Structure 1
Amino acid sequence: MLRHIDTVQVVATGTLVFLIIGAAGIGVLALALLGTELFQFGHADVDGPISLETVAGFAGAFGFGGAIVNELLGARTPGMVLGAAVGGVLAAVPTGWLASRLSRAARNMRTDPTPTRDDLVGAIGLVVTPVPVGGYGEVRVRLAGQPVKLSARADQPIPIGTRVFVVQALSETSVHVETY
């Protein structure tokens, strides 16, 4: 007859320390990549020689790599824990380098310039709310490929559904239009 035996597996103290370091590193890395400006020192646009993402990626890989090696070695002596730490460093160096490269690439990614009111001039749109003389109606135009609804003025009344041409940008949200 087999008896039910409950077993509890004990995690080595070294493994637990490595896991805590790894979890802290991954948590800081996630916050840093999300742009929370955690631990921002000095001017926000100046990045030091080693970014926060690099340090966090290194710490995360060091902790988890060290925990894996520690468990594989069954490290219970200080010398074996030191060997696990070396294994953690071997995992952490390429991970820190990769985190540095990826975060730099994300920060320096080229994007289209932000559209300004000058980009509205010449846009063709459609009247969605009738434009009265001396008052405002609404038009929908495409700006940088996106539909934008703007307040519109005109020299003569323009009914709903009429195609229009933006002659002048009165502000970022209002334009002067003519029929197209």
Structure 2
Amino acid sequence: MTTFLIIGGAGVVLLGIALVVGDVLDGVLGSAEGLFDSDVFSTAGLAGLVGGFGFGGAIGLGVSGLTPVGVLTGLLLGIALAYGSTRLTRVLRHQGSSNTVRTDSLVGSEASVITAIPADGYGQVRLSHNGHLVTISACSTTAIGAGERVWISEVLTPTAVGVEPIDALPAAGEGQ
């Protein structure tokens, strides 16, 4: 049983190393083209396999008293933990927002002025767009105080927009 516990402890140590320098180790493991492309040998997967084998083997041996049962239990638990940890790390690595905020998509959006905008000068506005809180430089032909609501009328640069006071919006039916 001691051997299984030492192997399980090695899995825990490998998991600790994976948490600290896992990306470096995964880069080394992934450098052999073709063999490691499927993330089967990710650091988290190896830690799950080794730890699961060690502790599962100790449980199987402790319950049955038979080494082959301990080895089989360890292999089953190790493979399950390796698969689960590999899937989880793959999901976490590949998650991200596909809703990247682009300045040109902000035209027509409502925003709040957070830094006063002087006439023909720059201030800042904040708005929520596609689930992102966006703060961007803003310019206006009229002075607009902090806290006022505005709408984005044009894109000036990738980091600045033109705004108008919300009351300057044309009413429905006007201009048609």
Provide TM-score, normalisation by structure 2: 0.69
Describe how 1:9-158 pairs up with structure 2 within 5 A: 13-28=2-17, 31=19, 36-39=22-25, 40-41=27-28, 48-49=37-38, 50-52=40-42, 53-72=44-63, 80=67, 84-109=70-95, 111-158=97-144
- Structure 1 residue 136 displacement after superposition: 1.5
Please provide the CA RMSD for this pair. Answer: 3.1
CA distance 1:65–1:15, shift in 2 (3 Å):
same
SS at match of 2:23: coil
- Where in structure 1 do 4 or more consecutive aligned residues deviate above 6 Å? none
SS at match of 2:10: helix
| Structure 2 CA distance for aligned equivalents of residues 138 and 108 of structure 1 | 33
CA distance 1:17–1:158, shift in 2 (3 Å):
closer
Provide TM-score, normalisation by structure 1: 0.68
Render the CA deviation track for 1:67-94: whole Å, top value 9, x for unaligned.
223444567xxxx3x6533331122122
| Structure 1 CA distance for aligned equivalents of residues 133 and 87 of structure 2 | 35
SS at match of 2:48: helix
Indicate the percent of aligned positions where both proteins have the same amino acid.
31
Aligned residues: 159
5+ residue gaps in structure 1? 1-11
Contact 2:12 2:47 in 1 (8 A): no
- Structure 1 residue 172 displacement after superposition: 4.7
Which protein has the bigger helix share? 2
